[in-house]
Amino acid sequence: MARKPKALTPGDTLGLIAPSGCVQDADRVDQAAACLSGLGFRVKIAPGCRASWGYLAGKDGVRAADLNAFFADPEVDGIVCLKGGYGTPRILDAVDYRSAARHPKVLVGYSDITGLHLALARKCGLVTFHGPMPGSDMLPEFDALSRAGWLSALMATDPLGPLANPGADRLETLVGGTARGPLAGGNLSLVAATMGTPYEIEARGRILFLEDVDEAPYRVDRMLTQLRLAGKFRQCAGILLGDWKDCAPGEGRPSLTLRQVFEEVLAPCGKPVSCGFRAGHCRPAATFPFGVEAVLDADAGTLEFTEAAAR
């Protein structure tokens, strides 16, 4: 059974953490905090947000400690990830999952934050949220569609119902049919990277959401094929494909198209598959929960959440 956080309300305190990569400009941390304040929240900034260790936002111990501290802090109502990059896989075995289970809170982010989404789902059944991050998507301006969806998803105590594809038409049908089950997934690279670990994705009966950025079609092919060989597409109820920004072949190189990759790797699994959901490395982008019941109608091109994600 899913462990649900308390929905956010105006005036709540958000803990801003950087569990992945570091920011290039330290002023961006304060700008991100100011953006969250402008949305009606108080903000606590974790020490790791201003730290750096190579490409990481501080050493592993610092980043894990920030996350654990905010789950345990009674003054923090929700946790917002500053940005992605790389780093969450390095701290998954240092997260205090017992504390997260005792103190379930909204946690929102995407891209490399997929590592936390997967681990928190596996280890304590926590419902988390895939959505824009202040350091990546809210500066210099948070677009109106993404902003409205972000606030709606994180502050709702009722099921989100049908979720509009922000700024886009209906979803494209790759394989028709209807799938029902909890949504799970995130960034394909992270889903593949956690395979064979205690944090790998639970696909059975789930609708799998997948997106990525800066990956050539052959690499997308390789990662999807890894999931296929592991039985994930046989076990799942359906597949929802998000945004694939800059996932084009190198100039002058022979390549399949992404569409061909999806047709050859995913379609034979026989599960409903929809493409073109605007979530991930795009603007505008949807915000939605992982871990609660949804219905994907690949024929109609719709996604509907039928279970509340927060209490």
- So which residues are the catalytic ones? 111, 211, 281
Cα angle 286, 93, 68; round to 5: 65
**What is the rounded CA–CA span in Å between residue 216 and residue 250?**
7
Distances (CA, A) of 99 to 15, 102, 119, 124, 253: 16, 5, 14, 9, 49
Residue 300 in contact with residue 179, Cβ under 8 Å?
Answer: no
Q: What are the structure tokens assigned to 114, written together?
A: 């997929």
291: alpha, beta or left? (left if phi > 0; alpha if psi -120 to 50): left
Q: What are the structure tokens assigned to 52, written together?
A: 């750096």
The enclosing H or E element of 128 equals strand 128-130
